[in-house]
Structure 1
Amino acid sequence: MKDFRLYTITGEEFHSGRSMLEVMEEAVKGGSDIIQLRDKFSSKKEVFEKAKKLREMTARYGAAFIVNDHIDVALAAGADGIHLGQDDLPLSEARKIVGEDMIIGISTHAIEEAREAERNGADYIGVGPVFATKSKVDVIDPVTTSYVKQVADEITIPFVAIGGIKLHNVDQVIDAGADRICAISEIVGSTDIQGTCQGFLDKLDAKRRIEK
């Protein structure tokens, strides 16, 4: 898969009064490389309608589009990939359905899960929640930046740090070894979405300048 730095997930509860498409387009304009549709409450038909609109928008800007959980929706909408949790369909079975070309990402919360995802052919993994977050109802306890460091030291496939990450604490995550960041409420709930995205990218760029 194409490399990425900023990954934004939909969170319609954080931007009342603004359409999901408007908000996510602002995120892409601000520099988000990947957009994920995550909707745990709408009907399958509604999720598909949202997916079609996001697929069209992301294609215009050259951003990747991922669907959370719903493999059938991802395929029907022509998404670039799917994202699965630890309790979803096993990666090996999902791969049989979607084929070799579709991106598959896996959420991980411990190094053993990260190792398994890499071993089984995940294209990238999510690492988190790094901090406490209100973006998920069924969230587990924070894994802290120590898990980020473990993954950075050992795992070779791309990983994205996620969970409670804000502009004021992202430096801790970057210092632990993350060079790809995922945010939800900090971006989609912002009054300046493009500026917030650029703020994250500026911090990631600062790390790269130091490494050079």
Structure 2
Amino acid sequence: MKEVFPYKLYLVISEEGCAGRDFLQVAEQAILGGVDIVQLREKKASNSKFREIAFRLQEVLVKTDTPLIINDNLEVAQHVGAYGIHVGNNDVTPSQIRAVWKDCKSIGYSIEYLAQMKSKEVAASDCLAVSPVFKTPTKIDTITEWGLEGVSQIRRETNKPLIAIGNMNSDNVFEVVKAGADCIAVVSAICAAKDPAMAAFTLRNQIEKAL
């Protein structure tokens, strides 16, 4: 199978999540530490504000050829020429995105309950997020807390790349990768860290050990 998603450490970033620090600097430091793909999540921003933030982040990411994923917003993703988009169950669907954004390089889709695995939206996706593996304050609408067995169960259901998200940290990423995840997505483990580069390095080291 062609490796459409070769990334291992996935940063989900927002201005708010960086707690007052320059989110562009946090992103730069995270990439130095081992992050190889970045998703911009700006749930509260207007489209114009989201576009502005995305263009600023894209300017940083292109220096290291790091792909930019936009969370939920197809208009912004296309406008800034993002690498791809990630959507959940209440957003524009992967099949709709596939129909209108022909040169999208990656469509990610969140798996929140097992019945989704038989859907046309999973078939239309390039990669799947197991969401959340463990409950986290950054996701308050949790449907299923998958745990390690849930990751393994989804792994048995698909060959698509699996991104594990939800309270990922240096204490659990090794086991999550061993359970079947291809990539670890983090929010606060890097964005709230005193040293984002070192936090990313530690996470990446644990991921590589598990592979």
Q: Structure 2: any 5+ residue segments left out of the alignment?
A: none
Matched, 1:156 2:159: yes
What whole-Å deviation, never above 9, does each CA across 1:80-125 have from its counterpart, x for those lacking one? 1111101112211111111144311101123332343675221111
Residue identity opposite 1:181 in structure 2? I
What whole-Å deviation, never above 9, does each CA across 1:157-177 have from its counterpart, x for those lacking one? 111100011112223312312
Question: How many angstroms apart in 2 are the aligned matches of 1:132 and 1:166?
Answer: 12
Coordinate RMSD, CA, aligned: 1.7
- Residue aligning to 1:98: 101
- So what's the TM-score if we normalise by structure 1? 0.91
Residue identity opposite 2:53 in structure 1? K
Where does structure 1 differ by over 6 angstroms across 4 or more consecutive aligned residues?
Answer: none
Paired residues for 1:35-54 under 5 Å: 35-54=38-57
- So what's the TM-score if we normalise by structure 2? 0.91
Paired residues for 1:105-184 under 5 Å: 105-116=108-119, 120-184=123-187
Residue identity opposite 2:112 in structure 1? H
- Residue aligning to 2:190: 187
Residue identity opposite 2:163 in structure 1? V
Three-state SS of the structure 2 residue aligned to 1:200 is: helix
* Percentage of pairs with the same residue: 33
C-alpha deviation, 1:46, in angstroms: 0.8
Range moving further from structure 2, 184-193 or 105-114: 105-114
C-alpha deviation, 1:182, in angstroms: 0.5
Residue identity opposite 2:98 in structure 1? R
Match for residue 27 of structure 1 among 20, 27, 30: 30
C-alpha deviation, 1:2, in angstroms: 4.5
Question: How many angstroms apart in 2 are the aligned matches of 1:107 and 1:141?
Answer: 11
Q: 8 Å contact 2:122–2:128 — kept in the other structure?
A: no
Residue identity opposite 1:128 in structure 2? S
Residue identity opposite 1:153 in structure 2? R
Three-state SS of the structure 1 residue aligned to 2:38 is: strand
Identify if the C-alpha distance between structure 1 residues 117 and 195 changes in structure 2 by more than 3 Å, giving closer, same or farther.
Answer: farther
Question: How many angstroms apart in 1 are the aligned matches of 2:122 and 2:136?
Answer: 28
